[in-house]
Amino acid sequence: MKTHLLSELGRRTEAPPISWLMATALARPQLISLAAGFTDNPSLPVEEARGLLKGILGSSQSGQAALQYGTTAGDTALRWLTAHRLHSLDDRPAARRAYSPDRVIITNGSQQMLYMITEVLCDPGDIVLVEDPSYFVYLGILQSHGVRARGIRMEADGLEVARLEEVLSALKKNRELPRVKLLYLVSYYQNPTGRTTSYAKKAGALKLLKQFEAAAGHPIYLLEDAAYRELRFEGEAVPSALAIRGSTDRVIYAGTYSKPFATGTRVGFGLVPEPVFTTVLRIKGNHDFGSSNLLQQLLARALASGIYERHLAVLRRRYAHKARLMQAALQQHFPEQVEWRTPGGGLYFWARLPRRLKSGSGSKVFKRALANNVLYVPGEFCYADDPTRPKPNHEMRLSFGSASEVNLHKGIARLGAVLRDCLGK
């Protein structure tokens, strides 16, 4: 019998592209990174956090409570505030059950929730339906677990529902439907495309999933990743899938306080239906038996005091400004043949080059960009391996989150010059 040091999962897990991108950025201090998903440094709430921590540690009683272990599901006040906040964001006063604090689990970033949900529901060989393109770190989780991702084409307002139906029908015909566990949507200002899924599309997708449940032999959940929901600076607010009638037992909502407050706190959360809730809680018990109590209390106080909401207003103005700067730079420096759209929130622009011009990590464009000290995320990283189509390789994700105002402009100017040069030849 052949023995291995590493487990099957350990052997299967590939290096995430993000590690490579970060190592590339660190190796070149002069590099302008439009690749990082980091948030804006100068607007991190340092003073606010200082004041909140002083309050927590100001008395022995509250200090001791914060410096002690908490519970696996999370701080009671934060779970309540989270449920209450989501209920009011969705503005659906009638539907109380969906927003019960008992359904909330606080996690170490929403990333931990995404990981645990996948671990709880998927075995190697199972299938998760994802947007095409999707969040590349989630694709990494799937790859690591031996789960197949199947991409669903997108339109300007989210996934193509007719395409979802075609894919589900084809899987049913091949008797693969029992392997389908989830539809994963990054529904607000999507990473990487900046697109938002309309409420009608969420409802349409959920209806289809329910239609195919009988043939699957089990529920097919809609996993809504709302990481960028609160970073909205333009357009109407869109309710989450939790607001859809009859969604309570089929929607898993993953949210975060890291992007809209401070990424370093790593406080995220999920609203999870049974029986997934109990199982996720057991798994979290095995992972860490609870997220940092101190940081959860920091968030609870930020929310309860109104500091969170005030900070969010500052962040929205800041990102609106940075998005406008990037837009102006793109207009000025990018060749006309490149297509892009200004997002209404989040941190990303998605640029589409003419198909003949490749953008992948081995491409001339990428290498020249690096030589000119500017980095982007190649679009190819954001596509799942899919036997039904070749991976597109002519797009780039450009982030306006962490680069300074000056560097945003400089970075786009450098990239524009590279594109012009490559197109001209």
Ligand X SMILES: Cc1ncc(COP(=O)(O)O)c(C=O)c1O
* Residues near ligand X (CB under 6 A): 37, 109-111, 135, 186, 191, 225, 227, 256, 258, 263, 268
Question: Phi and psi (nearest 5°) for 269?
Answer: -160, 165
Give the residue with the Cβ less far from ligand X, 260 or 392: 260
Give the residue with the Cβ less far from ligand X, 72 or 110: 110
Give the residue with the Cβ less far from ligand X, 231 or 415: 231
Give the residue with the Cβ less far from ligand X, 168 or 231: 231
Residue 416 beta carbon to ligand X: minimum distance, rounded to whole angstroms: 25
Give the residue with the Cβ less far from ligand X, 208 or 254: 254
Query: Which residue number places its CB atom closest to ligand X?
Result: 109
Q: Does residue 374 sit in helix, strand or coil?
A: strand
Give the residue with the Cβ less far from ligand X, 101 or 401: 401
The tokens for 386 are: 């899919």
Q: b/e map of 189-219 (b: 16 or more CB within 10 Å)? A: bbbbbbbbbebebbbbbbebbeebeebbeeb
Quote the strand ranges of 320-400, DSSP E.
Answer: 348-352, 374-375, 377-378, 395-399
Residue 221 beta carbon to ligand X: minimum distance, rounded to whole angstroms: 16
DSSP 151-201: EEEEETTEE-HHHHHHHHHHHHHTT-GGGEEEEEEE-SS-TTT-----HHH
User: Residue 419 corresponds to which amino acid?
Assistant: L
Give the residue with the Cβ less far from ligand X, 101 or 109: 109
Distance of CA 110 to the CA centre of its chain: 8
Question: Phi and psi (nearest 5°) for 421?
Answer: -60, -50
Residue 55 beta carbon to ligand X: minimum distance, rounded to whole angstroms: 24
Q: How far apart are CA 421 and CA 238, in angstroms?
A: 41
Residue 61 beta carbon to ligand X: minimum distance, rounded to whole angstroms: 30
Residue 319 beta carbon to ligand X: minimum distance, rounded to whole angstroms: 14
Residue 43 beta carbon to ligand X: minimum distance, rounded to whole angstroms: 16
Instruction: Count the Cβ atoms, other than its own, within 10 Å of residue 332.
Output: 11
Q: How far apart are CA 330 and CA 343, in angstroms?
A: 13
Residue 128 beta carbon to ligand X: minimum distance, rounded to whole angstroms: 14
